[in-house]
Chain A
Amino acid sequence: MTTHDATDATGTSLKRTPLYEVHRQLGARLVEFGGWEMPVQYSGILDEHHAVRTRAGLFDVSHMGEFNVSGAGALDFLQRLVPNNVSRLAINQALYTQLCKPDGGVVDDLLIYRLAESNYLLVVNAGNIAKDFAWVQSHSAGFEVQLVNQSAETALLALQGPAAQAILQPLTQVDLDTIAYYHCAPGVVSHAACVISRTGYTGEDGFEMYCPADKVVDLWHDLLAAGKEHGLIPAGLGARDTLRLEAALCLYDHELTEQTNPLEAGLAWTVKLAKGDFIGHDALVNIKAEGLKRKLVGIELVERGVARGGYAIYDGEQQIGVLTSGAPSPTLNKNIGLGYVETAQATPGKSVSIDIRGRRIAAQIVALPFYKRSK
């Protein structure tokens, strides 16, 4: 047996979160992800996936990067840096956006929180921390801003699932009913001073808690203990990936790269071309005017097999695109994928086939997301 797994260790020295030893003690399988040694699963991906959809799961995502941007010029700087409209953020509100290159390609996707009048928190992907910080710094000339890379001293836990609020509420004085989706509040959870954010990457309700790195081990244990009666279990990056795929949330290096733009990725709702100039603005205006060459679509296999990123998508004998992600969907009990196809072919219901190691497996294009929780 030989395994083709994108997460195989590379042999380079890997970074670890403060919870590394805790993961080991829990019996997690640890793999390389974006230069980090991270838990891919504890009890099993299917078990963890179902726990998040029906109860709750706790994820260590401390590998994510955090940059603080402050100063009188912070808003103007961020408006220049990203395509979404940062000026609409109230204090304690968040938005999803990208860093784009002048040609519209995506350097990274990120969240921006407005923590105070002129104080913002940028949350970026672990594998891109160094690249992103250099990018942000290199465009800061002329703006009155202070940039601080707080990634090393900031930990992040994601408590996700329908039971998340019931688990978290007894551990904090903050009334969680007052935190709306994509909003946050500062608050102590157990003994840790956190930014409590109603966000996530699973398609479920839930909270993400940013806290000092030296508090996260206790916070992890306290959350797991509080959640025990609700069926909370630790969940790894494997379940995080199947959960985000069902919710059709983009993953950097898969759906988003420096060779893709946010419009073809289905993220036009985050690109505010009318807000004024930003890096990539003119290119994105042109891309929109000329019409998209390709679009991100959902794929569902009709025949047996498992779709994976990198597999070619065919219409008859003609290749019309390629998958960027694929996996079995534990919630839908189907095999699904995301991929780019030529715009003219990107119609839900269209029959296609996927080349799985030389065999053509019948599939169809379906509307996204694959999974949407009932409110």
Chain B
Amino acid sequence: MAGLTHPADLKYTKSDEWVRVEGDQAVIGITDYAQDQLGDIVYIELPWDPQTLTSEEKFGDIESVKATSELLSPLSCEVIKANDALKENPELINDSPYEDGWMLVVKIAKPAELDGLLSAADYEAYLQGR
């Protein structure tokens, strides 16, 4: 994991998504570890139109040169918008997983679910054992 960062102000899932809580909304993406594992990302399918997701529901597909992965929602939520820039420039996820490479802005449906997410320290401990 040398050189990979997992900011302390975010929450994480064991399926390698991150969540940044902003009031009653949240921003969702995949972690530095995840983008590094995937390698060169070439395509992403996201919910471009608003829709409702439940926790751990698939919300998209991400394609690297080598493999296809499913994206799982960390929270029950309503999708407000998806990051249109990723349509043409999916490599933003490799270059900037926590900023330019964000995927969704959502309205949090069940705030109590946030307690079930991992802290950065817990997520890194989990990665060590993987």
Chain A residues with a Cβ under 8 A of chain B: 1-5, 7, 29, 40-41, 44-46, 238, 241-242, 304-306, 308, 327-328, 330, 335, 357
The minimal Cβ–Cβ distance linking B73 to chain A, given in whole angstroms, is 11
Contacting pair B30 A1 (CB below 8 A) = yes
Contacting pair A46 B65 (CB below 8 A) = yes
Cβ contacts B105-121/A at 8 Å (1 or 0 each): 00000000000000000
Additional A-B contact list (4), CB under 8 Å, known A3-B37, A5-B66: A2-B70, A3-B68, A4-B67, A306-B42
**Contact residues in A for B68 (Cβ distance below 8 Å):** 3-5, 306, 308
**Contact residues in B for A44 (Cβ distance below 8 Å):** 39-40
Q: Which of B30, B37, B43, B72 contacts A328 (CB 8 A)?
A: B43
A27's nearest neighbour on chain B, judged by CB, is B2
**Contact residues in B for A308 (Cβ distance below 8 Å):** 68
In residues 66-88 of chain B, which contact A (Cβ within 8 Å)? 66-72
The minimal Cβ–Cβ distance linking B65 to chain A, given in whole angstroms, is 4
Contacting pair A1 B67 (CB below 8 A) = no
**Contact residues in A for B37 (Cβ distance below 8 Å):** 3, 29
Count A/B pairs, Cβ under 8 Å. Answer: 63
8 nearest A-B pairs in the assembled complex, by CB-CB distance:
A5-B67, A306-B63, A3-B69, A45-B65, A46-B40, A328-B42, A1-B16, A1-B69
Known A-B contacts A45-B65, A238-B66, A357-B61; A2 and B72 likewise in contact (beta carbons under 8 Å): yes
**Contact residues in B for A357 (Cβ distance below 8 Å):** 61
Contacting pair A242 B72 (CB below 8 A) = no
A304 to B46, CA, bound (A): 13
The minimal Cβ–Cβ distance linking A322 to chain B, given in whole angstroms, is 16
Contacting pair A4 B69 (CB below 8 A) = yes
**Contact residues in A for B34 (Cβ distance below 8 Å):** 1
**Contact residues in B for A328 (Cβ distance below 8 Å):** 42-43, 63, 65
B17 on the A face (CB < 8 A): yes
> Can you give 6 contacting A-B residue pairs, CB < 8 Å?
A2-B72, A3-B69, A5-B67, A238-B39, A241-B66, A305-B45
B26 on the A face (CB < 8 A): no
Name, among A305, A306, A328, the residue most crowded by chain B CB atoms within 10 Å (CB to CB).
A306
**Contact residues in A for B66 (Cβ distance below 8 Å):** 5, 7, 40-41, 45, 238, 241, 327
A306 to B40, CA, bound (A): 13
